[in-house]
């Protein structure tokens, strides 16, 4: 049963992180998807009326989450360093869920978030980052290849 939970967690964390990576890559192209425009996207994602972060920082997030997805999948190996990386990323995700988006926004030096972001954070972002954090920790129980 532990192995099944670990495998499911590995699939969940890999898929979730890959999705976050793709979403940031789409935003790096200038697309506001799934929002109707950049202002609406900025309100939902960074908590203010914009502008959205530039291409470079958005690609850094896309690349970082792609790397995390590869790590979660086991594609980068399953040694001590990789396991430490999974624990670190899982812990960061759990801290993001625990402290919320306003703490993350403040850490990036952005102004306090508006109502749209706060609602999305409490209903979606925090639960999703908690799920990712837990799944990264549980993925350590997946059977070795």
Domain that holds residue 124: 2-141
Average pLDDT score over residue span 20-36: 97
CA distance 16 to 145: 21
The pLDDT assigned to 4 comes to 87
Q: How far is Cα of residue 92 from the mean position of the Cα atoms in its chain?
A: 10
CA distance 74 to 8: 13
Largest CA distance in the chain: 47
CA distance 127 to 77: 28
Q: Which long-range contacts (CB under 8 A, 24 or more apart) does 108-117 make?
A: 110/46, 110/47, 110/48, 111/47, 111/48, 112/47, 113/46, 113/47, 113/48, 114/43, 114/47, 114/48, 114/49, 116/43, 116/44, 116/47, 117/43, 117/44, 117/45, 117/46, 117/47, 117/48
Q: How many domains does the chain have?
A: 1
Greater confidence, 21 or 6?
21
The pLDDT assigned to 96 comes to 96
- Digit-coded pLDDT (tens) for 90-138: 999 999 999 999 998 888 888 889 999 999 999 999 999 999 999 999 9
Whole-prediction pTM value? 0.91
The pLDDT assigned to 50 comes to 76
- Digit-coded pLDDT (tens) for 40-94: 999 999 998 878 999 999 999 999 999 999 999 999 998 999 999 999 999 999 9
Nearest to 129 by CA among 29, 26, 120: 120
Token pair listed for 65: 């989450």
């Amino acid at each position: 049963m532990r192995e099944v939970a670990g495998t499911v967690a590995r699939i969940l964390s890999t898929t979730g992180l890959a999705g976050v990576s793709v979403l940031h890559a789409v935003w790096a192209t200038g697309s506001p998807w799934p929002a109707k425009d950049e202002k609406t996207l900025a309100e939902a994602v960074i908590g203010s009326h914009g502008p959205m972060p530039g291409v470079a920082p958005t690609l850094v997030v896309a690349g970082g989450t792609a790397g995390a997805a590869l790590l979660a999948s086991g594609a980068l190996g399953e040694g001590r360093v990789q396991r430490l990386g999974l624990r670190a990323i899982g812990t960061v995700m759990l801290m993001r869920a625990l402290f919320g988006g306003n703490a993350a926004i403040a850490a990036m030096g952005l102004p306090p978030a508006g109502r749209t972001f706060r609602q999305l954070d409490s209903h979606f972002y925090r639960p999703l980052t908690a799920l990712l954090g837990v799944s990264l920790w549980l993925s350590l129980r997946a059977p070795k290849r």
